[in-house]
Amino acid sequence: MKKFIANSFIILILISFTNLQSKEFCSPDELSVNITETSSAKNSNGEKGNVFVYFDQSLSMKGYVNDQPGLKNVYVNVIDDLQQIAENVGSSTYYHAFGKDIIPIKGSKIAKVIKPSFYECKGAASECNNQESKIELPFKIAKANPDGTYIIVTDLFLSDKQLVGGTLKQLTKPLKSILKKGKSIGIIGVMSSFNGTVYDIPIKDGGSMNYTDAKMRPYYIIVIGDQKHINRIKSNLEEQHFTDPEDEYKFALITSSPILQNLNKNQIISEKNIPKIDKAEGFKFKYVDDVLPIYQFNTGKKFNKKFRIKKDDLIVKGSSGVSEYTLKESLWSSPEVKCKKIDWRKSKFDSISTVTSNEDGLTLNLFKNISDRKKLKLFLGMRYFYFVDVYAEKPGTASEKDFAEWSVRSSDAEGFTQSNPVKFKTLNLTKIIKILNAVSNDTFEKTLVATFVMDFNLLK
């Protein structure tokens, strides 16, 4: 009996020692971890700046303030509350009208914006501010003073000539500068009742036509500033005005930094990112130095695991997101599995896993490239140390698709108008969003979004 107890004790000690060995962490010497902050996090300083509100004074806007019987006038309601929403975001609010020029509006006269007279002009047409809509003017001001928050209310009805050559540059140059400074551009499209005339609809033979039968038409609130201010304005509008299920609105966030956060920084990565990994033999998950998550386990050759990141954890809500991710991978292996004898050798594999993204987020098919390529192989009985950096490579174009249904091209505008639409579309809207996305592409910087390690023994 004594012998049996002694033997059992020895076996228990041996088993516990083996477990300790398997859980030990030993990284290759050449491993270097570089977790950086995302630019979106860097740029929010929490201070309240001034808010500058610009109202499009062009004549096409007049239809928004005239009620359309039986339809909800979201324009008047929103403009009414804009003053309070702006004050939530900034310390002081300054109002302006823009058309041919920018004209300041005193706070006391802000109520005029929701009156038809605000968009009318009794003088000579050349002297009036309601004949054109130079949207580039508020952008220029935003470029000169990027600390403020800019709210532009407009129908975004931009002609072809405003979207080419020098005029386009006047639009894109300040936007590029704004985005480079870490600011973002939020576009809130709101479908409202409309009772007026849509002017300057291009026709195929040249020239333009007007349309008076539209009962609904979208207008846009463009917000330039910090992402958190944009989101605050958007959520204020949602809470106060877009409460009915029939309320139609769209949101896009154009930003050079659509990445919400580096997942390592806030320890967002957990064992749940690799489904069922916790069922693997000898599984252990931990953070090394509070930033580097490590999955340790034993696995067989039929290793078919996916690393998933939810879109909400990664992408700024409403932004165009990321269209392409890349991986920077390193794989070390050692024929000795115990840390004391470990002999890490860096493999020559340049591409180990694959990465795909969809509406739900991004997915890494771990070791997919190795198992798909016959010349590459992992061997049994060895310990592997797989280190991967996930980078956001290219910004996405999700907002283009979202706004497409409200957009009409110049070449289709005449035909669309002749179909007597009740709900009128915005001229060249997709083009404008595309231009904004292109500007954000130029300012987008490759961003490290996640880093993790898999330390595993390949067993039978």
Residues that bind another protein (CB under 8 A): 331-333, 335, 345-349, 375-382, 460
Q: CB nearer to another protein: give 48 or 345.
A: 345
Residues comprising the chain, all counted? 460
- Minimum CB–partner distance for residue 459 and another protein (Å): 8
Query: Count H helices, E strands: the chain?
Result: 12, 20
CB of 349 to another protein, least distance (A): 6
Q: How far is the CB of 288 from another protein (least distance, A)?
A: 23
The rounded distance, in Å, linking the Cα atoms of 443 and 440 is 5
Among 56, 244, 61, smallest CA distance to 153 is for 56
- The residue (of 451 and 457) whose beta carbon lies closer to another protein is 457
User: Which of 53, 188, 190 is closest to 109 using CA atoms?
Assistant: 53
Shortest separation between residue 377's beta carbon and another protein, angstroms: 5
Please give the Cα distance from 286 to 48 (Å, whole number).
39
**Shortest distance, position 370 Cβ to another protein, whole Å:** 9
Shortest distance in whole angstroms from residue 380 CB to another protein:
4
Residue number, 308 or 346, with CB nearest to another protein: 346
Quote the tokens at residue 374: 């016959």
Least distance in angstroms from the C-beta of 330 to another protein: 11
Pick 324 or 336: Cβ nearer another protein: 336
For 263-286, letters b (16+ CB in 10 Å) and e give: bbbeebbebebbeebeebeebebe
Neighbour-count burial of 363, counting CB atoms closer than 10 A to its CB (0-12 exposed, 13-18 middle, 19+ buried): middle
Nearer to another protein (CB atom), residue 380 or residue 422:
380
C-alpha span between 274 and 28 (Å, rounded): 23
292-299, strands of its sheet edge to edge: 281-288, 292-299, 447-458, 383-395, 322-334, 345-346
Separation of alpha carbons 51 and 90, rounded Å: 5
C-beta of 85 vs 378, nearer to another protein:
378
The residues, ordered by sequence, that sit 6+ positions from 285 with a Cβ below 8 Å of its Cβ are 270, 271, 277, 278, 293, 294, 295, 296
- Among residues 221 and 378, whose Cβ is nearest to another protein? 378
